[in-house]
Structure 1
């Protein structure tokens, strides 16, 4: 039997990044970034996605494979590979517009030790229902993680997005979201209210990232913990949340779901270091295990 495998379902695309210095292209898509991040940290990962048989699709596949992850064979289609156009603001944050046709999901493997999904794939059809069904069928057999990574222009109505998120959270051992996700889902709610709301939906552990301010989380025992951000010089913030998520996934695979506050806080500190490394370099470029442990 091989090493435990993480199954990641969701979009893979090319980020077209515009700055004052010009335009560059980087492989992206939140689930693809997570799969790459997990593999670079030494845990086998399989990405079930949608890729066009074009130059950009081949570039995405090469990037994923070079990290050590596997592309599910059923992921290939004859449509063009999706893109996201990112304009970098002066503070390093990114403003996105997307050209996404949909995520055609292959049937998930049943032998994964952890199943992860989120972002566009969880909300956009075709594919959204497959992602949610995969989480629900994995519950109790594998660890389940979710990152909504809300893209307001692509997730449909707030009511529909809430319904899908609620289904995902009910199946999840851990939900990670950003403070921006929380603001969109529950305008005006404070952090602790959001954490408790998601826990009430069924998620065992919940973590909210706050950019450079660090993160706050709720452990399965109800403990609320906060960790500080890591001070670095920011190139851009693309992929920071995905690197944070990948680090959390590796902790869950290697150590199980953090049962109490201190265990969750330690996992969050490690994840914050992973995100900090990523933002020091352009594009979604998560760290290796050697970089993270250095």
Structure 2
């Protein structure tokens, strides 16, 4: 089995919580792509994280955490900036993110920082998330995308608080179209789809991304499961298992992690039915993540998934 390269951000989440009647912030290592890399490793795949980490204690903690969970960090560069903080508040199970730190520590990976041999040897390359809003890291992602010889997977992971008006949204839409055109798999949430293509039904968004060139598109719908558009079949809905959700942080990332882990084992399914099975498994992984607090730390193993959802 080969390995996946996951290019994107790692940062520290400060989760708004309560202890002994006082508001406190619980520290957690986060970033959508970091969650994906950890999820792949927990599910038995080999993952390499590629991104920029701050030169402070928090950046060191991120690097140590990744190493401890068997995610490779040879492609993670340390940069002269404090680690970006994401303050996470809740008005329900869905988190709201606000980002602090300038310059953003995760946005300083440049094209020249890439390990070309590592990229060319990868069976799967993931690009996406908020690093695409940073010109330097966007240039690195474009270079990685052009060098990849394996399967290319993409997740826009839109954070509306980082979009400064209609021009920024239009710019992101163009970047999404560019990456989707060369992707073997695109995963996005219904919230991403609603922000990028307002008023479009999710099936329509999936079909549009396939028209652009994406081979397979998965749109996650939270508790309602996912929409899958694969091959030339019409988009279908894949149901999610019933779970007792307490924290949706990392759920979408775990869907992507499960799909990547299966791509590493068996490559692309040869039929839409094969994709339905893969997405159903990924939704079981996400269901389990929603039953635990935290993002990266909630990523399960295959044995955990089997225990919770016996086949």
Into which bin does the TM-score normalised by the smaller protein fall? over 0.9
Alignment of 1:1-294 (within 5 A): 3-21=1-19, 22-89=24-91, 91-99=92-100, 101=104, 102-105=106-109, 106-108=113-115, 109=118, 110-138=120-148, 141-155=149-163, 157-284=168-295, 285-294=298-307
Give 1:262 shift: 1.1
Query: Does the aligned pair in 1 maintain the 2:207–2:235 contact within 8 Å?
Result: no
Query: Does the aligned pair in 1 maintain the 2:53–2:76 contact within 8 Å?
Result: no
Give 1:213 shift: 0.9
Give the RMSD, CA atoms, in angstroms.
Answer: 1.5
Query: Does the aligned pair in 1 maintain the 2:75–2:114 contact within 8 Å?
Result: no
Per mean C-alpha deviation after superposition, the further-off stretch among 190-199 and 46-55 is: 46-55
Identify, as 1 or 2, the structure richer in helix: 2
- Report the Cα distance in structure 2 between the residues aligned to 1:128 and 1:182, rounded to whole angstroms: 21
Q: Which runs of 5+ in 2 are unaligned?
A: none
Give me the TM-score of the superposition, normalised by structure 1: 0.94
- Report the Cα distance in structure 1 between the residues aligned to 2:30 and 2:282, rounded to whole angstroms: 19
Give 1:253 shift: 1.5
Runs (4+) off by over 6 Å = none
Query: SS in structure 1 opposite 2:278?
Result: helix
Q: Which runs of 5+ in 1 are unaligned?
A: none
Query: Does the aligned pair in 2 maintain the 1:40–1:67 contact within 8 Å?
Result: yes
Per mean C-alpha deviation after superposition, the further-off stretch among 71-80 and 45-54 is: 71-80
- Report the Cα distance in structure 2 between the residues aligned to 1:189 and 1:163, rounded to whole angstroms: 17
Distance 1:135 1:45, change over 3 A: same
Query: Does the aligned pair in 2 maintain the 1:123–1:164 contact within 8 Å?
Result: no
Query: Does the aligned pair in 1 maintain the 2:87–2:98 contact within 8 Å?
Result: yes
- Report the Cα distance in structure 2 between the residues aligned to 1:216 and 1:227, rounded to whole angstroms: 6
Query: Does the aligned pair in 1 maintain the 2:8–2:127 contact within 8 Å?
Result: yes
Distance 1:183 1:55, change over 3 A: same
Give 1:282 shift: 1.1
Give 1:230 shift: 1.9
Aligned length: 289
Give me the TM-score of the superposition, normalised by structure 2: 0.89
- Cα deviation, 1:202-247, whole Å, max 9, x if unaligned, reads 1000000001111011012334221112222222111011011100
